[in-house]
Amino acid sequence: MRKDLIETWKKRINQLRREEKRFINLNPIQRGGILSPEARKILDEFADGYSLCDWCTGSLYELKRPPVLEFLEDLASFLGTDVGRVVTRCREAKYIIFKTLAEPGDVIVVDGLAHYSTFLAAEAAGLKVVQVEHSGYPSFELKLEEYQRRIEEIKRTYRKPPALVLLTHADPTYGNLGDVKKVSKICREEDIPFVLNAAYTAGVMPVDCKELGVDLLVSSGHKSWAASGPIGILAMRREYAAKVLRRSSSFPKKELAVMGCPVLGLPLVTLMASFPYVMERVKSWESELEKTRYLVNKLEEIQGTIQLGVKPKQHHLIHMESKGFEQVSKRVKERGYFLYHELKERGVVGILPGRSKHFKLSVYGLEWGEVKRVAEVFQEIAKKYGVM
Amino acid sequence: MRKDLIETWKKRINQLRREEKRFINLNPIQRGGILSPEARKILDEFADGYSLCDWCTGSLYELKRPPVLEFLEDLASFLGTDVGRVVTRCREAKYIIFKTLAEPGDVIVVDGLAHYSTFLAAEAAGLKVVQVEHSGYPSFELKLEEYQRRIEEIKRTYRKPPALVLLTHADPTYGNLGDVKKVSKICREEDIPFVLNAAYTAGVMPVDCKELGVDLLVSSGHKSWAASGPIGILAMRREYAAKVLRRSSSFPKKELAVMGCPVLGLPLVTLMASFPYVMERVKSWESELEKTRYLVNKLEEIQGTIQLGVKPKQHHLIHMESKGFEQVSKRVKERGYFLYHELKERGVVGILPGRSKHFKLSVYGLEWGEVKRVAEVFQEIAKKYGVM
């Protein structure tokens, strides 16, 4: 150990302050993870390492104080399915499904706009991935009927159907919302397990597995459930639980794939404390979409600026292409960073530093006044640089 | 979704309060995970979902603001090794090692006092486990020289050496501290990777991988590093990094076994904020052992009460056997629960409800005045029930 390490870190702790917290943050991954007031109140209470475990009798899933057992039941009910679990991350939930419903070497079908962690989870589980295409620029709409064709191809090539099919409910690049029923219908007819990656949707908008025909759902607590990170959600129909949640042979109280208690402390407590808040807020999804569409309209008034992805928006993640701001970036000293700095000066952060031609943003959960301010700020900057 | 769910959970949130927080908590898993004052100050700042990711450029491990990159380097240095990583849990760190250094069907050797999660991680990775025996009641001392014999047996039976050897530094049942060098010497001579499970030691006592001959170390942030749960630590010599931290073939910035960014938010921020505190506190390990031994002496003054495990204590986890308290439990209405209730009435919690013959406890990190108070409380109860 280096001699100066303690002194160095005493100083560094002061740099841990997060000045971004005082700004309006438009980063799409940040909007759905802002804590509810109820969750914020409980932070100090459960901040210590194992503070959730005072009343444990051997399994987190059976814990009654705090009411984890009841929470998991009600979480499943809220999602319109039978069994709910919390795991360390959404990608972990995918990995658990891949590992328990498929064998290494098996093929799965996923949408071509899936999150990178879907591919990582498949690679870690030793699976081959076949992708379903999208329409390309500018709407990047998934060709969902292709799921059928891919399944046929796989059956011909490998003499067995894919181990499972996955659809990313709202893709992380364009925020296109997939038509879940189209895919679930194909899967039901082909008798293939259907997984919905609801990392960006469940918790911010209504998602009902029964109505949508979803067999297994994964989601992200820190992305969309007003919870501290990291925490994932894994929910499924009863018939899948025996395989996915198989118990350890040596420790029959413990579920093998999650290796016992998967998550504890603040990620789980804040998820629970925000649960009523989340159940309420999904009812306001339509008004969130209004804010999203309002902002898109205002941004498209800037020169050479269009929304990519399907129009009108069905999800809060917005991906803009701005040839106007790109032009500016070519003639200013700061290059692409001008947009980040101009926004920050006006109290807005969350656009990736350096980006000007393409940028993602979201106003999910902001008040109307703030949404209007965000639109004004972008237009102010556009006018300052003569692209509006 | 059930109609009354929102109202039910609004009420349940109030039950989330943790009255145990106001008591002296003797649960051994709780003592090393109590936050440092510095970590407690930063809770609100990083409580929102992705609050750590404002400045991300694609990989948590390269993040400079907050200084995750530097933290991982300094964490490795503090542990006397080359490469440091944070993962979701200590068991995840074991699983990652098992999955990357062994093939399904391979054999590994572990101590017979290993934590259940070691067996779960091995089962999940498809490994066979051979155990090294201990001496049994009352000291339960591991026969560390048996590692050699087990390795020979495996080489004879399977025509190849075990894929790796694991020792639990301080076992979770008796708090016996293993003689690491004895095992690392055997592994070095046999050229077998040696893993130390330091979940209960690194972060509360000095652990230097280089000095101890450890190839790979795993530890638990919420158990022993004054961090919020869940967070695990994975550290290793450089030569193992290529295999254990192999990058994804499709996403070359992402490490495959951890599937990209493994942990974020408060678990990681509190681990970082507590780092100088932890580096300081391991220097006081000897005085922590004095407190531990003092309490053992006082508890052994109670009738029929002895400390199990090796004596004198080399670790803060104490396992007591009390035939005196067991006798009491047989004649009182509350049965074994009397001890829990009597302790709680006196401001002390953390002994598992119902336990009286065997119980585990720890006074790690308590002030001397509190340690003395704990000893008095136990003796008061013993006197009240006539077993002292």
Q: Give the minimum alpha-carbon distance from B223 to chain A in angstroms, rounded to a whole number.
A: 6
Tell me what the mean pLDDT of segment B130-140 comes to: 98
Same domain, A268 and A306: no
Does residue B278 sit within a domain?
no
Tell me whether residue A23 is in a domain: no
The pLDDT-based confidence of B189 (bands split at 50, 70, 90) is very high
Asked if B124 and A291 count as a contact pair (C-beta separation under 8 A), the reply is no
CB B221 within 8 A of CB B227: yes
A243 Rama class: left (phi>0) / alpha (psi -120 to 50) / beta? alpha
CB contact under 8 A, A32 and B49: yes
Q: What's the token pair of residue A332?
A: 């200013």
Torsion of CA B147, B151, B153, B154, to 10 degrees: 130
A contact residues 86-125, partner B, Cβ 8 Å cutoff: 88-89, 91-92, 95, 116-117, 119-121, 123-124
B191 alpha carbon, distance to own chain's centre: 27
Sign of the four-CA dihedral B61, B62, B64, B69: positive
**B235: Cβ–Cβ under 8 A, 6 or more apart, which residues?**
B75, B76, B79, B81, B83, B84, B85, B209, B216, B217, B218, B219
pLDDT at B122: 98
Looking at chain B, the whole-number percentage of residues with pLDDT higher than 90 is 87
Which of A273, A304, A324 finishes a domain?
A273
Once rounded to an integer, what is the mean pLDDT over residues A247-276? Answer: 92
B68: distance to nearest CA of chain A, Å?
10
- Domain boundary among the residues B233, B248, B273 is at B273
| Rounded alpha-carbon distances, angstroms, from residue A141 to A309, B97, B204, B358 | 7, 40, 54, 63
Find out whether B196 and B170 touch, Cβ atoms under 8 Å: no
pLDDT of residue B332: 97
Residue B2 in any domain: the answer is no
Residue B192 belongs to some domain of the structure: yes
Q: Which of B101, B80, B83 is nearest to B192 (CA)?
A: B101
Estimate the share of chain B in helix, then strand, then coil, as percent rounded to the nearest 5. 45, 15, 40
Residues B143 and B255 both lie in one domain? yes
Q: Which residues of B touch A110 (CB under 8 A)?
A: none
How wide is the angle at C-alpha B28 spanned by C-alphas B23 and B29, nearest 5°?
A: 100
pLDDT of residue B111: 98
Whether residue B260 and residue A120 make contact (CB cut-off 8 A), yes or no, is yes
- Token pair recorded at residue B17: 């309060």
Range of the domain at A359: 284-384
Position B300 in a domain: yes
| Confidence band for B3, pLDDT divided at 50, 70 and 90 | confident
Q: Are B172 and B321 in the same domain? A: no
Say if residue B98 is in the same domain as residue B134.
Answer: yes
| pLDDT (mean) for B169-179 | 98
pLDDT at A54: 83
Single-letter code of the amino acid located at A115: H
CA B233 to chain centre: 11
Say if B17 falls within a structural domain. Answer: yes
For residue A45, give the chain B residue with the closest CA.
Answer: B18
Q: What is the CATH number of the domain that holds A64?
A: 3.40.640.10
- Give the mean pLDDT of chain B: 95
* DSSP structure string for B181-239: HHHHHHHHHHT--EEEE-TTTBTTB---HHHHT-SEEEEEHHHHSS-PSS-EEEEE-HH
Nearest to A49 among B8, B9, B228 (CB): B228
Tokens read off for A147: 């799921």
Shortest distance between the Cα of B30 and any Cα of chain A, in A, equals 6
Query: CB A21 to CB B264 under 8 A?
Result: no
Residue pair B213/B188 in contact (Cβ under 8 Å)? The answer is: yes
Q: Is B103 helix (H, G, I), strand (E, B) or coil?
A: coil
Last residue of a domain, one of A273, A301, A331: A273
- Model ipTM? 0.96
Asked if residue A233 and residue A164 are part of one domain, the reply reads: yes
**Contact between A48 and B30 using a beta-carbon 8 Å cutoff:** yes
What pLDDT score does B41 carry?
94
Find the closest chain B residue to A33 by CA distance. B49
pLDDT reported for residue A2:
72
- Strand-pair category, A216-220 with A232-236: antiparallel
Instruction: State the pLDDT at residue B80.
Output: 97
The tokens describing B102, both together, are: 């062994």
Q: Are residues A292 and A242 in the same domain?
A: no
Confidence at A238, pLDDT banded by 50, 70, 90: very high
Cα–Cα distances in Å, from B338 out to B21, B116, B305?
A: 21, 29, 17
Q: How many CA atoms lie within 13 A of B295 on its CB side?
A: 30
Distances (CA, A) of A123 to A147, A191, B236: 20, 24, 24
The answer to whether A199 faces chain B, any CB pair under 8 Å, is no
Chain B environment of A12 (Cβ under 8 Å): 67, 70
- Which two tokens mark B16? 């989330």
Q: Do A256 and B124 touch (CB under 8 A)?
A: yes
Structure tokens given for A10: 């005493």
- In the structure, what pLDDT confidence band is assigned to residue A100 with cuts at 50, 70 and 90? very high
∠ CA A220-A224-A230, rounded to 5°: 40
B54: pLDDT confidence band, cut at 50, 70 and 90? confident
Contact A198, A146 (CB under 8 A): no
What's residue B333's pLDDT?
Answer: 96
Q: Which residue of B has its CA nearest to A51?
A: B30
Which among A5, A227, A228 has CB closest to B74? Answer: A5
Query: Per-residue pLDDT tens for A305-355?
Result: 999 999 999 999 999 999 999 999 999 999 999 999 999 999 999 999 899
* Mean pLDDT of all residues in A223-240: 97
Q: From the list A13, A70, A227, which residue is nearest B273 (CB)?
A: A13
> Residue range B149-156: average pLDDT?
98
Least reliable range by pLDDT among A154-163, B4-13, B71-80? B4-13
Contact across the interface for B12 and A116, Cβ inside 8 Å: no
Clarify whether residues A198 and A264 are in a common domain. yes
Min mean pLDDT across A254-258, A384-388, B21-25, B148-152 is at B21-25
Cα(A105)–Cα(A127) distance, integer angstroms: 5
Sort B293 into a burial class: Cβ within 10 Å, 0-12 / 13-18 / 19+.
middle
pLDDT tens readout for residues B281-313: 999 999 999 999 999 999 999 999 999 999 999
> Do residues B224 and B255 both lie within one domain?
yes
* Residues A110-163: tens digit of each pLDDT: 999 999 999 999 999 999 999 999 999 999 999 999 999 999 999 999 999 999
- The mean pLDDT of A209-221, rounded to a whole number, is 98
Res A58 pLDDT > 90: no
Do B273 and A92 lie within an 8 Å CB cutoff?
A: no
Residues A319-341: b if buried by 16+ CB within 10 A, e if exposed: bbbbebbbbbbeebeeebebbbe
Which CATH number is B340's domain given? Answer: 3.90.1150.10
Domain count within chain B: 2
Question: Where does residue A145 rank: exposed (0-12), middle (13-18), buried (19+ CB within 10 A)?
Answer: exposed
Query: Hey, what are B187's tokens?
Result: 């592994």
Q: Write the DSSP assignment of A271-305 as a string of letters.
A: HHHTHHHHHHHGGGHHHHHHHHHHHHHHHTTSTTE
Contact between B228 and A48 using a beta-carbon 8 Å cutoff = yes
What is the distance between the alpha carbons of residues A32 and A279, in angstroms, rounded to a whole number?
13
Give the one of B15, B17, B276 whose C-beta lies nearest to A6's C-beta. B276
Contact: B70, A27; criterion CB under 8 Å = no
Q: How many CB pairs under 8 A join A and B?
A: 290
pLDDT exceeds cutoff 90 at A366: yes
How are beta strands B232-236 and B216-220 bridged, if at all?
antiparallel
Q: How many of the other CB atoms lie within 10 Å of CB of A191? A: 7
Q: Is residue B159 part of a domain?
A: yes
Same domain, B21 and B75: no
Buried b (16+ CB within 10 A) or exposed e, A345-379: ebebbbbbeebbbebbbbbbbbeeeebbbbbebbb
For the record, the structure tokens of A373 come out as: 């301010």
* Interface touch A266/B263, C-beta < 8 Å: no
Are residues A264 and A225 part of one domain? yes
Quick one: B117 and B50 in the same domain? yes
Supply the pLDDT for residue B19: 72
- Average of pLDDT values for A76-105? 97
CA atoms in the 13 A half-sphere facing the CB of A264: 32
- Looking at residue B279, its pLDDT comes to 97
> Does residue A13 sit within a domain?
no
What integer best gives the mean pLDDT of chain A? 95
Instruction: Tell me if A265 and B229 make a contact (CB, 8 A cut-off).
Output: yes
C-alpha to C-alpha distance for A343 and B63, rounded to whole angstroms: 22
**Candidate from B33, B117, B269 with C-beta closest to A259:** B117
Is the pLDDT at A1 greater than 80? The verdict is: no
Non-local (6+) Cβ contacts of A145 within 8 A are A182
For A375, how many CA atoms within 13 A lie in the half-sphere containing its CB?
Answer: 18
Q: Give the long-range contacts of residues B136-141, CB within 8 A, separation 24 or more.
A: B137/B308, B138/B306, B138/B308, B138/B309, B138/B321, B139/B176, B139/B308, B139/B309, B139/B310, B139/B311, B140/B113, B140/B171, B140/B173, B140/B174, B140/B176, B140/B308, B140/B309, B140/B310, B141/B176, B141/B310
Q: What is the pLDDT of residue B264?
A: 86
List, in sequence order, the alpha helices (H) in chain A. Answer: 5-12, 28-31, 37-41, 68-78, 90-101, 116-124, 146-158, 180-190, 209-212, 221-224, 238-244, 265-273, 275-281, 285-299, 323-331, 337-345, 368-384
What CA–CA distance (Å, rounded) separates A234 from A258? Answer: 11
Mark whether A177 and A242 lie in a shared domain: yes
